[in-house]
Structure 1
């Protein structure tokens, strides 16, 4: 069963995502039937998970099939990104507490995109990798879309704070790793990224932006914004959705991280089951189902 949307959210879902409540049960059934006929694919079929994927693809069943297949294919073919930190392991919570990645829990009455914060400068590059940050994002997003319809309907915005980021961090961002990170975060996750905001950008980061731009569509590039400091950032994003440390009123970062730590613990049985999903490429019948090698041009919707 899926949750019923509020009238306001349902109207947005209909106008922007082509969501038809009368058609949703049929869409879910079609998707489940398709999954059952893919011998290489072992995938979650919870209604709430599948509706998140449908909304992320504006209810295009063919697009959902490709996204879903890629999501689980990357679980098998890019474990250095998707399984580097497993949410059922103590190391996951330990790294989560560093505050490298967190999502502001959305208000159920606030019809705005959810805000994801990435702060790579919080980890020690001699001990950890940017792929660890992606693992935190990868699993928090799964909880987010299961819990909050606002995230699946209104989409998300990403804030990347480069404070304390040095060349030791930047050397981790090889073209291969960047391709995998972009594929996981923007191609496979059930999200509609509405924009990305980059603040406290250090010198030398231009090389990374140039590499990333090769994977992005023009629309994505147009919505990528760079700020000199937190004060400039606050002019673009309202205080109500920003942490106290950034001049906002949405709670402290410690409070937000504590919220997500409790959620990860609460979802442990769900995550244990999640570890069983993936693909067996030796059983794949149609290799055209997923474009796992080229990492298609990305489009912020």
Structure 2
């Protein structure tokens, strides 16, 4: 079959945590391929590696894999401002990629998880739209699905550093925009977010976060941690893999900023090809899905009220 072999260590994790059965793997892939061929509304990638990635993300439940694939492509067609005409070399993407907002650590956690640090203060509020930022973030997610088996299998941890973040940073995202983004990540992507660690949170953060927290599923809410200091963070993410700015031993953060940008840029052709995939709601068996079905009604989301 046409998929990458993974190390014995990664396969053991997938067998234990994701219900992967090497003896049934090819059969499961073929089952999903046959199902895709019978969906008149779906224009989806159907190569073995792509299907295997979704099977792993759905813990090899065939029905959940079908639902996830359908939602993945449904959301792409529903949000063309984020998922169509994606170019990592566009001025907007380059501004975000070169800002240093997102840094991928070179070493993984002891559990094999990729660790990302997010520093929103490095991008001036309003310098990029929420759609511009979301477009690049989802390019990273798609590149992960395309080439990073270790993260697909083991998951990812995000450290969100709010030092220097102002109210203007938070107000640049409306509840409606957050609802759309969280729906995509939670319902459309077969990835494993294993922890969100927040540090240097500003005064009044709790009020703001409570507004957005409603969009997260309970499983995600249980994986959100707010740390009062670095010592608390180190109980979850070891010092050995952290840059020195976070009390770690991995050297200055400025020396490790390039990998995240490189992953996205080297997948430019993949993103361009992706434009041909999606759904045709007029051909969907049963009732077509609408924006209201997917995200609710925009007017129902109350706006931020800041004293």
Q: Shorter-normalised TM-score: what interval?
A: 0.7 to 0.9
Asked whether the equivalents of residues 82 and 134 of structure 1 are also in contact (C-alpha less than 8 Å), the reply is: no
- Between the aligned partners of 2:278 and 2:53, the Cα distance in structure 1 is 18
Gaps of 5+ in 1: 296-301
- Cross-structure match for 2:158: 158
1:159-202 superposed Cα distances (whole Å, 9 cap, x missing partner): 21112221112223322111111112222122111121111111
1:84-133 superposed Cα distances (whole Å, 9 cap, x missing partner): 864353431331111223433555x9542211332222212222134433
Asked whether the equivalents of residues 18 and 59 of structure 1 are also in contact (C-alpha less than 8 Å), the reply is: yes
- Between the aligned partners of 2:263 and 2:137, the Cα distance in structure 1 is 13
Structure 2 vs 1, CA of residues 131 and 201 (structure 1 numbering), >3 Å: closer, same or farther?
farther
Matching of residues 1-301 of structure 1 within 5 Å: 1-83=2-84, 86-87=87-88, 89-105=90-106, 111-250=111-250, 252-287=252-287, 292-293=294-295
Structure 2 vs 1, CA of residues 217 and 20 (structure 1 numbering), >3 Å: closer, same or farther?
same
Q: Secondary structure at the match of 1:226?
A: strand
- Cross-structure match for 1:299: none
Residue 70 of structure 1, CA deviation: 1.6
Asked whether the equivalents of residues 104 and 116 of structure 2 are also in contact (C-alpha less than 8 Å), the reply is: yes
Residue 288 of structure 1, CA deviation: 8.3
Structure 2 vs 1, CA of residues 288 and 22 (structure 1 numbering), >3 Å: closer, same or farther?
farther
Identify which range, 75-84 or 91-100, moves more after superposition: 75-84
- Between the aligned partners of 1:63 and 1:105, the Cα distance in structure 2 is 32
Asked whether the equivalents of residues 17 and 58 of structure 1 are also in contact (C-alpha less than 8 Å), the reply is: yes
Q: Secondary structure at the match of 2:145?
A: helix
1:47-71 superposed Cα distances (whole Å, 9 cap, x missing partner): 2222221111101111112212222
Provide the aligned length of Structure 1 versus Structure 2.
294
- Cross-structure match for 2:305: none
Asked whether the equivalents of residues 119 and 162 of structure 1 are also in contact (C-alpha less than 8 Å), the reply is: yes
User: Normalising by the residue count of structure 1, what TM-score does the alignment of the two structures yield?
Assistant: 0.86
- Between the aligned partners of 1:83 and 1:118, the Cα distance in structure 2 is 25
Asked whether the equivalents of residues 159 and 197 of structure 2 are also in contact (C-alpha less than 8 Å), the reply is: yes
Gaps of 5+ in 2: 298-307
Structure 2 vs 1, CA of residues 137 and 105 (structure 1 numbering), >3 Å: closer, same or farther?
farther
Q: Alignment RMSD, CA only?
A: 2.7
User: Normalising by the residue count of structure 2, what TM-score does the alignment of the two structures yield?
Assistant: 0.84
